[in-house]
Structure 1
Amino acid sequence: MVFSLLCQYEQVSGSISSLYPADFGDIEVQGSIHLAVNYIQNLGEFHIFVVHCRDLAVADTKKNCSDPYVKCYLLSEKTHLGKRKTTVKKKTLNPTYNEILKFKIIMEVLKTLFLNISVWQNNTFGRNSFLGEVDLDMSIWDFSNTHINEYTLKARFSEQSPTASPSHLKDSRGQMRVALRFLPQTSRSKRTSRMETGEVQIWVKDCKNLPPVRGVFIDPFVKCTVLPDTSRKSRQKTRVVKRTANPMFNHTMVYDGFRSEDLRETCVEITVWDHDRLSSHYIGGLRLGLGTGKSYGVEVLWMDSTTDEAHLWQRMLQSDGEWVEDALPLRTLVRAKSMSK
């Protein structure tokens, strides 16, 4: 596959969004939320009955009101089971929802998790603002308590990510063992003026300790692309490995058409997914590049490799065609919209 360098940077850099949408705001938290939780044994479902909120902070100072909605996450050190959210209630500081948010999960797993309930200001044309949250530890929860309880909303646990686990938990998404090499291709004739190029080979070996993002079992696979090219021809993926948190892939992906100088401007993005027929679920990813924040002189959000990721890429640049390898922790990525499908 020939890697196209003729990308329109205005489109690439202008279409960036978080895989888990980034919500921001500096509103002072106040008010409370009324809710009940219940585990329905015969359905194998955990229900959160969101009743209403009272005395929320004003998000729209011009109209002296808010457009609030509620989000729920089940979280642990190794688990993020997605989010559930209510409808948006317009122009009120005392919204009534009377909605049930449901998670399909077995009780044994539920008892290892935290329930995070957060309230947000909806902004159709901008970024949503945080209005407060509550954390409930399911490991010590009395499941005979199915009453509606009032909880005081608290300030945000993380200014960096609305989907991070509570501050006392470590956000672990497992790790990937990956090897890289660059093989220059020699020109056929000394007389030719053709520019010499080469190919990047990415050997995805295995993953360890992947979190069960939907329940007890996952069916992981890996996607790969080389940014700034977000076209379909840049995308490659491994097979799906069934029902394991420690999949062995041993899959090599090859991208050709690179000049050696291009390797300082590009970034290999590798992401791990839990396969689902309707919509696969993101687990975590890597960005292998120099992490300079720029590509061909243009500032881009995706050139954000960690120190370890950048070190592996730098080793490849100096390896003279030999494989370099490392086991790297998976993380949440800010990704191009066109790559999230």
Structure 2
Amino acid sequence: MVSGSVMSVYSGDFGNLEVKGSIQFAVDYVDSLKELHVFVAQCKDLAAADIKKQRSDPYIKTYLLPDKGKMGKKKTPVVKKTLNPVYNEILRYKIEKQILKTQKLNVSVWHRDTFKRNSFLGEVELDLETWDWDNKQNKQLKWYPLKRKTAPVALEAEKRGEMKLALQYVPEPAPGKKLPTTGEVHIWVKECLDLPLLRGSHLNSFVKCTILPDTSRKSRQKTRAVGKTASPVFNHTMVYDGFRPEDLTEACIELTVWDHYKLTNQFLGGLRIGFGTGKSYGTEVDWMDSTPEEVALWEKMVNSPNTWIEATLPLRMLLIAKISK
């Protein structure tokens, strides 16, 4: 029942290797194609993942922040057994220029390890809001010194807005239902406040809910999408049944807020409401990571059956549990 597969936007090993060396790349916006082009040329003097043979198997990843979803990620092929890889690859993003000016470009270097976690070798981050797109020199190849990991800290510190919600635990089903004596958890998503604007004022947000450890599509519910506001009102109630008293200790409500744009959904922030024990049904899990505020709401709900418990909680970055097919 418990799924150990977790997708992290920060997956990898950040602490094993020192950060050294530099990367050469150029950025350009092609107006006729409405595309951002990142020309990754080469790296030099990278850290050695294989210390004995003094070599690594490096590749480059690029992200447009704050979207670290699948659509915002691009990468080069791996160049094996070298500390000075040459790529000469163009990574392309189809994106409107006005939206691009609200983004940051994150370029990171990684060692590819087939049997272990990939190792972080350094990164560069450019603020595209202040980038001078008319300066021809900015379109030319430049060397940038690689730096230690800063993106996760910066993203965690970003204001992702808040969610106003209420929870209720109903220990027994309504009279007349011929069901075993299991209860229901009711989740009332009222509204979100001050969501981050990824595309100017064109936000089109909705909320997904999953009761972990059940990551099946059957477990997933969602609100309607509300557009053109950073403080959408949903006023949507979701009901999950089959809760035995012992399940309240092992389960966790995952609420995530998304911006729907064209064919993609961009993650804005989320909550995980449970006891935050790090374990579920005896298995250690990454998603049982509730903050003290989230734990407090869950405890009040468990201790006050048949009563709506309301709270306004800050949205945060999450390791997103994969949805099973």
Q: 2:142 aligns with which of 128, 132, 149?
A: 149
| Distance in 2 between residues matched to 1:291 and 1:68, nearest whole Å | 36
Structure 2 residue 63 is matched with structure 1 residue 73: yes
Q: Secondary structure at the match of 1:290?
A: coil
Instruction: Give deviations 1:194-222, integer Å, cap 9, x for gaps.
Output: 96322110011122333345776343222
Match of 2:271 in 1: 286
Match of 1:37 in 2: 27
| Distance in 1 between residues matched to 2:40 and 2:199, nearest whole Å | 22
CA contact (8 A) 2:250 2:279 kept: yes
CA shift for structure 1 position 253 = 0.7
Q: Identity percentage over the alignment?
A: 53
Which amino acid letter does the alignment assign opposite residue 270 of structure 2?
G
Match of 1:16 in 2: 5
Q: Secondary structure at the match of 2:256?
A: strand
Return the TM-score normalized by structure 1: 0.82
CA shift for structure 1 position 153 = 1.4
Structure 2 residue 115 is matched with structure 1 residue 125: yes
CA shift for structure 1 position 133 = 1.4
CA contact (8 A) 1:16 1:335 kept: no
Q: Secondary structure at the match of 1:303?
A: coil
CA contact (8 A) 1:44 1:105 kept: yes
| Distance in 2 between residues matched to 1:21 and 1:157, nearest whole Å | 11
| Distance in 2 between residues matched to 1:217 and 1:286, nearest whole Å | 23
Match of 1:265 in 2: 250
Q: Secondary structure at the match of 1:272?
A: strand
Match of 2:283 in 1: 298
Which amino acid letter does the alignment assign opposite residue 134 of structure 1?
V
CA contact (8 A) 2:24 2:144 kept: yes
- Residues 48 and 286 of structure 1: CA distance in aligned 2, closer, same or farther (over 3 Å): same
Match of 1:207 in 2: 192
Match of 1:249 in 2: 234
| Distance in 1 between residues matched to 2:6 and 2:174, nearest whole Å | 41
Q: Secondary structure at the match of 2:300?
A: helix
Unaligned runs of 5+ in 2: none
CA contact (8 A) 1:109 1:216 kept: no
Match of 1:184 in 2: 171
- Residues 67 and 305 of structure 1: CA distance in aligned 2, closer, same or farther (over 3 Å): same
- Residues 80 and 21 of structure 1: CA distance in aligned 2, closer, same or farther (over 3 Å): closer
Where do residues 103-118 of structure 1 align in structure 2 (5 Å cutoff)? 103-118=93-108
Larger deviation, residues 85-94 vs 269-278: 269-278
| Distance in 1 between residues matched to 2:131 and 2:217, nearest whole Å | 47
Instruction: Give deviations 1:80-122, integer Å, cap 9, x for gaps.
Output: 5733222222222211111222334444444444332211111
Q: Secondary structure at the match of 1:251?
A: strand
CA contact (8 A) 1:105 1:215 kept: no
CA shift for structure 1 position 284 = 2.2
Larger deviation, residues 138-147 vs 273-282: 273-282
Match of 1:275 in 2: 260
- Residues 243 and 60 of structure 1: CA distance in aligned 2, closer, same or farther (over 3 Å): farther
Return the TM-score normalized by structure 2: 0.85
Q: 2:161 aligns with which of 174, 182, 189?
A: 174
CA contact (8 A) 1:58 1:93 kept: yes
RMSD across aligned C-alpha pairs, in angstroms?
A: 2.9
Match of 2:17 in 1: 27
Q: 1:239 aligns with which of 202, 217, 224?
A: 224
CA shift for structure 1 position 32 = 1.2
CA shift for structure 1 position 62 = 4.7
| Distance in 1 between residues matched to 2:51 and 2:235, nearest whole Å | 55
- The count of corresponding residues between Structure 1 and Structure 2 is 318
Which amino acid letter does the alignment assign opposite residue 176 of structure 1?
M
Match of 1:4 in 2: none
| Distance in 2 between residues matched to 1:31 and 1:107, nearest whole Å | 31
